[in-house]
Chain A
Amino acid sequence: QSALTQPPSASGSPGQSVTISCTGTSSDVGGYNYVSWYVQHPGKAPKLVIYEVTERPSGVPDRFSGSKSGNTASLTVSGLQAEDEADYYCSSYAGNNIFVFGSGTKVTVL
């Protein structure tokens, strides 16, 4: 059960886009469409922004979008806003009633 690989950091200016990758294996990301993305602001609980690779929960702006190719999933945040500065985590079902999270990416809005 190794953590999914995410870049430690990403950044962009207001209005720009930032894309975060989440690399796993064929046993997790590549094998299931149960990839989710969470945003966590300092001192707060994580919040779901993408589920099942591409789906957005009600209330999440359409600036957030997800995709997957092979063993790598991606989250794109378009039209960056100051409030998007936070930690982002991916997660994936890994079979046999097991889940795995990504290592986390700190997004900075320049």
Chain B
Amino acid sequence: EVQLVESGGGLVQPGRSLRLSCAASGFPFDQFTMYWVRQAPGKGLEWVSGINWSSGTVGYADSVKGRFLIFRDNARKSVYLQMNSLRVEDTALYYCTKGRTGWGGPDYWGQGALVTVSS
């Protein structure tokens, strides 16, 4: 059974940093692209970032480019999202998702980690 467990969320002041982690199990982690998707309170889904199996290909939404960094550790079966220069508008539930083949988009989703950016 595919399991994705996010951690690292919390309350942070604007301009500060936070790192989210996602521990994966139940599938060959080193063979799949991983993504982060967020959902602001009461709003829709927003794709944030993705990283392929080898870390050789990454992508970022314009809204986070230059501030967020995605990386993975295949030995630890984990993917991370380093979030710098956080803004109030980054407040959201951040989902870790497993990709389908290649860059086919998310299939399995974690339960999310809540990030609140507020002074």
Name A residues whose Cβ lies closer than 8 Å to a Cβ of B: 1, 3, 34, 36, 38, 40, 45-48, 51-52, 57, 87, 89, 91-93, 96-104
Contacts and interface: CB of A to CB of B under 8 A. Distances in A.
A77 B110 CA distance: 25
14 contacts: A36-B104, A40-B45, A45-B95, A45-B109, A45-B112, A47-B109, A51-B105, A87-B44, A97-B57, A97-B58, A98-B59, A100-B47, A101-B37, A101-B46
B107 A104 contact: no
A45 B112 CA distance: 8
Contacts of B62: 1
B61 interface: yes
B45 A98 contact: no
B111 interface: yes
A21 B111 CA distance: 27
Contacts of B106: 36, 38, 46, 48, 91
B110 to A, nearest CB: 7
Given A97-B50, A98-B59, A98-B61, A48 B44 contact: no
Contacts of B27: none
A99 B95 contact: no
A47 B17 CA distance: 30
A96 B62 CA distance: 12
B35 interface: yes
Contacts of B50: 97, 99
A19 B57 CA distance: 35
A36 B59 CA distance: 18
